[in-house]
C-alpha cells in the first residue's frame, strides 16, 4: 500500500521520476563524452599519421602553446553549441599534428622507437580504463580533488618550463612522472564529475579527458625513451 505521508521530523526524498531522469541524463553525458572522445582520438591519430607521412617539422613551443590555448579557449566559448564540436576537432587535430614529428623522431632515431610508442600507447589505455572503471564503479564524489589538481598542474607546468633550460635525464623523468600523476588525477576527477552530475557538458568533459590522455601518452613515451638511454 502506497504511503504518501512523511514521518514527523523526516526529510523529503527525491521523487523516483526525478531520480531516474537524473540517472538518464548522467548516462547520456557519459555516453556522449566517450563517443566524442573516441572520435577525437581517431581524428588526432589520423592527423598525426598525416604529419608523419608528410614529414612535417614540429611547429615549436611557442606556436604549439598559442595554438593549444587558443583552440582551448574556442572550445570553452562554444561548448554549448555545435561550433564547440568543430572546435574540439580543431584542437585535437592540431595536437595530432604537433605529435606527428615527435613520433617520427622516435621511429627514425631510436632502434626500438616503434615498440616504445606502442608500449606508451598500451600503458595510456590501461591507465585510462583502470581509472575510469574505478570512478564509475565506486561512484565516489572526487570534487575535492579539483583545487589540488589545479595547483599541481600550474606547479608542474612552471617546473616544466624551467626544465627546458636543464638537460638532466633524472629531472626530466621526474617532470614526466608528475605530469602522469596530475593527468591521472584529472581523469578521476572528470569521470567522477560526470557520474555525480557535476559535469553536464560532454564537450568540456571530452576536452579534459583528451588532454589528460595526451599528456599521459607523451610523458610515458618520454620516460620510456630516457629509460632506454635514447
Task: Give the span between the Cα atoms of 204 and 180, in whole angstroms.
Answer: 20
Per-residue pLDDT of 170-207, as tens digits, reads 788 889 999 999 999 999 999 999 998 888 899 999 99
* Helix axes of 16-53 and 169-195: crossing angle, nearest 10 degrees: 150
Residue in 117, 115, 127, 126 with CA at minimum distance from that of residue 48: 117
Assign 113 a pLDDT band (cuts: 50, 70, 90).
Answer: confident
Please tell me the predicted confidence (pLDDT) of residue 11: 39
Exposed/middle/buried for 1, CB within 10 Å: 0-12, 13-18, 19+?
exposed
The CB density around residue 7, as the number of other CB atoms within 10 Å, is: 7
Residues 6 or more apart whose CB falls under 8 angstroms from that of 31 comprise none
Q: Is pLDDT above 50 for 25?
A: yes
Neighbours of 48 (CB within 10 A): 21
- Give CA–CA dist 116/227, Å, rounded: 10
**pTM across the whole model:** 0.86
Distance from C-alpha of 135 to C-alpha of 185, rounded to nearest angstrom = 11
Condensed to tens digits (0 to 9), the pLDDT of residues 146-172 reads 899 999 999 999 888 877 776 667 788
Q: Calculate the CA 73 to chain-centre distance.
A: 16
Is the Cα torsion angle 104, 109, 114, 119 positive or negative in sign? negative
Per-residue pLDDT, 2: 40
Q: What are phi and psi of 106, to 5 degrees?
A: -65, -45
Least confident span in 88-102, 127-141, 161-175: 161-175
Nearest to 222 by CA among 187, 179, 182: 179
Percent of the chain with pLDDT over 90: 67
Closest CA to 59 of 102, 89, 106: 102
Amino acid at each position: 500500500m502506497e504511503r504518501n505521508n512523511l514521518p514527523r521530523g523526516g526529510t523529503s526524498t527525491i521523487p523516483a521520476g526525478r531520480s531516474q531522469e537524473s540517472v538518464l541524463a548522467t548516462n547520456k553525458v557519459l555516453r556522449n563524452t566517450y563517443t566524442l572522445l573516441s572520435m577525437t582520438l581517431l581524428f588526432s591519430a589520423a592527423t598525426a599519421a598525416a604529419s608523419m607521412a608528410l614529414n612535417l617539422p614540429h611547429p615549436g613551443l611557442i606556436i604549439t602553446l598559442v595554438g593549444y590555448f587558443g583552440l582551448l579557449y574556442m572550445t570553452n566559448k562554444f561548448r554549448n553549441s555545435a561550433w564547440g564540436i568543430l572546435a574540439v576537432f580543431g584542437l585535437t587535430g592540431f595536437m595530432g599534428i604537433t605529435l606527428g614529428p615527435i613520433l617520427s623522431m622516435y621511429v627514425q632515431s631510436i632502434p626500438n622507437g616503434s615498440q616504445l610508442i606502442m608500449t606508451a600507447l598500451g600503458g595510456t589505455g590501461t591507465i585510462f580504463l583502470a581509472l575510469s572503471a574505478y570512478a564509475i564503479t565506486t561512484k565516489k564524489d572526487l570534487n575535492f580533488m579539483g583545487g589540488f589538481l589545479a595547483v599541481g598542474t600550474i606547479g608542474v607546468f612552471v617546473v616544466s618550463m624551467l626544465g627546458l633550460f636543464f638537460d638532466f635525464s633524472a629531472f626530466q623523468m621526474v617532470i614526466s612522472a608528475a605530469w602522469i600523476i596530475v593527468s591521472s588525477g584529472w581523469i578521476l576527477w572528470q569521470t567522477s564529475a560526470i557520474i555525480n552530475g557535476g559535469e553536464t557538458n560532454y564537450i568540456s568533459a571530452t576536452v579534459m579527458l583528451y588532454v589528460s590522455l595526451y599528456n599521459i601518452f607523451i610523458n610515458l613515451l618520454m620516460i620510456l625513451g630516457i629509460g632506454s638511454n635514447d
